[in-house]
Each structure stands twice: as structure tokens, then as C-alpha cells.
Amino acid sequence: MGNKKFFFSILIAGILGGIVTIAGTKYFFPDKNYVFVDKNTPAKNINYSNPKYPFNLTKAADAGTKVVVHIRAEESAQKARKRLRKDPWGGYFPDIFDFGNNHEFYRMKGGGSGVIYSKDGYIITNNHVVDFADDILVTLPDKREYKARKIGTDPSTDLAVIKIDETNLPVVPLADSDKAKLGEWVVAVGNPFDYLTSSVTAGIISAIGRNINIIRDDHALEEFIQTDAAVNPGNSGGALLDANGNLLGITSAIATPTGSYAGYSFAIPSNLMKKVADKIIENGGDLSLKPSLGVSAATIDKEIKKKLNLKLDSGVYIDEVMTGSSAEFAGILPGDIIVGADGKEIRKFEDLREILNFVKIGDILNFKIFRDNKYINLRVKLKQSL
């Protein structure tokens, strides 16, 4: 009998202890969740990556490092002598620290990057990397070295094309830069500081169509892709690629108070690059020798429309036509509104300037003009700037 009382006492104590434990847990840890696992359920691998946001950028890095070359550019002795002759002082004043021991004149030199554009050796780089040079050495990613010749330059977009004598070179497909989106992942490949060759950095597109007034040219055309991929001196002329390894642009500049990367870099978009590069390959030479339409014009906005009582909401209003200009010979008049050129719509002055940027002296453009409440077509043969 005593044993039974003892057994029931232990049982009742155990039950009361369990109740107190559960009540205490609920009181002191009210938010605690307990999960009971079925041991017979097999474990599953879960993929948290989203294919729309490819954080693995190895494909782009691999593509870029195969086509980005290292460029060393130097002014030849002959060219340096010509530059010295143009010196207003005639180059007659020697370096005061020379002490007569070194009579070698200064030859400009520099380095940068380039991107293989075609299998037969055309390479795109920045104008500022090679504009001063006529001795150009290209080193491929596999360390082969070649003397390169300059095919042509375009100071207005800071682009240049050089060529080496080689075939079967690797190339990457071009992206449609007009479809680039803010926040899109990009990879920059270049040769920062001239010795960290084939360096890869990544970031996102932070602005599109950026004009930073960095190109010192009367016909400057800036519509940079801005990114936060780290870029430094030596990256100029390198590649900006999308996450799939397509060439999205040519690295050109950085915004910095120090001379080194400070958060933002800028690339010439691939669509603009292709137009310029193809034009240089076709014609060669310096594309800064451009034809001129010979007009004073402005984009139609609300203020101009109201002030001049115009019928159109967009287009380029011709305020003045220069005497002897291409426009005058074609019959363009003050008060005309240009709304199209060679089948492309002209909504603002920048549209017209972009078309004129890719024509040469002697080309003929077909303009669509709004005059006296009706549309007319005029053929304009482009002449050199007056």
C-alpha cells in the first residue's frame, strides 16, 4: 500500500512539473516557435539565386579579359621636334636643371587600354590615349606584343581606332546600349595604373545619357553611361560589359577630386561607339574635320512655341541661316522647322547634332521641313565649316 502511494506521488509530481515547465516557457518566451521535424522527410537543396539578377559575373569577366589589350603610346622623335617648332618660344630655352648633360627633348608618352573590335586586328580605344602618339605598342592578354598603327580619331566622342597585323583574334558581341537600365550589373575590364593589367571590377549603372562636359571639342558629343564600377587611370579605352559578357561601352573617364577612383566612372555607349568606329574604319583620318549645316537653331520648347506662335510641339527651329552655308544653298530659310533627317525624327537639337556628327563633307542629307503650315523635303549637300 505504501508503495502505491509513493508511485502515485511521483506521477502527480511529474505531471505538475511538466505543466509548470510549459507554462513558464510560454510566459518567459512567448514568441519562441518550436518546429518538430519528420525524420523521414529527405533534405532538399534550395536555390536562392534569381536568374534575372546574375550576381555571378564570371562570364562577363572571362569575355572581357580576352579582348581588352594593354596600350603603350609614345610620341616619336620626329613628331616631338615638330611640336617643339610650334612652341612660341621656338624650343630655344633648355631645361634649367639640365646643366648641359642631357640634350634629349621631351617625348610625350602614356598608357591605357583598348578593346579588340574585329578578328582582323582593329582595336578601339580613347582618343586621349593615342592622339599624341605615333609609336603605339599593343600587348594582348596572352602577352603577345604588336606595333600598331593609328587608323583614325574622333575628338568629339574621345574615340580612336588603331590596328595590328593579326587574324583570328577574339571578339565579343555588342550590347544594345539603348536598352541599358538603371541598376543593371556591369563589369569593367582594363589596366589601371598601367601595371595592374586585366583587372576586373563590377558595379551597377547609376545614370544614362550623362553629359559631364569633359570632352574639349567644339562638336563634343557626350551621352555617357555612368557606373559605380571602380575605374582608375589606365582603364581608359577598356571595356564595360553587361552581365552576359556583351560589350556595353568603352571606359572613358572618372569623376574624382583626387585623380583616382572616387565612386563614379563613365563609358561611351556601344551604339555610339559602333557608329564612330565604323566611320573611322571606312574613312580613316581625323573625324574632327566635319561639315557644317550653317544655321543658328534651337529646340522647340513651350517658351519658344508660345513666343513665336508655332504650330509644332517639337523639332528644331531655324533662327538664322549663314551666308554661303550648306543650308542656304539647299534653300533652308529662317523660320523653318526641321522635323526629320534621312528618315529619322528630329525632336530636339541634339538629334540633329548626332546625325551631323556622323556625316562627312560632300554627303547629302534629306531634310523634312515644316514651313507655312505644310511639310516639304529638301536635299542638303554638306560643305566644310565656313
pLDDT tens-digit profile of 306-325? Answer: 888 888 989 999 999 998 88
Q: What number is the average pLDDT over the span 165-182?
A: 94
Q: What number is the average pLDDT over the span 156-172?
A: 94
Residue linked to cell 569593367: 188
Cα dihedral value 249, 275, 162, 283, nearest 10: -170
Pairing of strands 145-154, 285-286: parallel
Q: Out of 8-12, 88-92, 131-135, 255-259, pick the least confident.
A: 88-92
Q: Is the pLDDT of residue 103 over 50?
A: no
Question: Which pLDDT score, from 0 to 100, does residue 46 have?
Answer: 45
> Architecture of 54-91+105-288 per CATH?
Beta Barrel (2.40)
> What whole-number distance in Å separates Cα of residue 379 and Cα of residue 381?
7
115: CB partners within 8 A, 6+ apart: 67, 68, 69, 123, 124, 125, 237, 238, 239, 247, 250
Between residues 41 and 20, which one has the greater pLDDT? Answer: 20
Every domain range in the chain assigned CATH 2.30.42.10: 291-384
Q: Is 236 noted as a catalytic residue in this protein?
A: yes
Among candidate residues 113, 128, 199, 242, the one labeled active-site is 128
Binned at pLDDT 50, 70 and 90, residue 179 comes out as very high
> What whole-number distance in Å separates Cα of residue 338 and Cα of residue 350?
12
Between residues 153 and 223, which one has the greater pLDDT? Answer: 153
Among candidate residues 236, 252, 270, 326, the one labeled active-site is 236
Q: Where are the alpha helices (DSSP H) in 48-159?
A: 58-67, 77-86, 127-130
Question: Which pLDDT score, from 0 to 100, does residue 32 have?
Answer: 43
In the chain, helix, strand, coil percent, each to 5?
25, 30, 45
Among candidate residues 154, 158, 242, 336, the one labeled active-site is 158
Q: What number is the average pLDDT over the span 285-290?
A: 72
Amino acid residing at 98: D
Number of Cα atoms under 13 Å in the Cβ half of residue 179: 6
Question: Which pLDDT score, from 0 to 100, does residue 244 have?
Answer: 93
> What whole-number distance in Å separates Cα of residue 301 and Cα of residue 97?
59
Q: Is 131 noted as a catalytic residue in this protein?
A: no
Is the pTM higher than 0.85? The answer reads no
CATH number, domain 291-384: 2.30.42.10
Q: CA 289 → CA 163, 192, 209, 264, distances in Å?
A: 21, 32, 25, 32
Every domain range in the chain assigned CATH 2.40.10.120: 54-91+105-288
pLDDT 10s digits, 355-369: 887 787 788 999 999
Question: Which pLDDT score, from 0 to 100, does residue 11 have?
Answer: 58
Do the beta carbons of residue 182 and residue 206 sit within 8 Å?
yes
Question: Which pLDDT score, from 0 to 100, does residue 100 have?
Answer: 43
The C-alpha R_g of the chain, in whole angstroms, comes to 33
Phi, psi at 373, each rounded to 5° = 65, 25
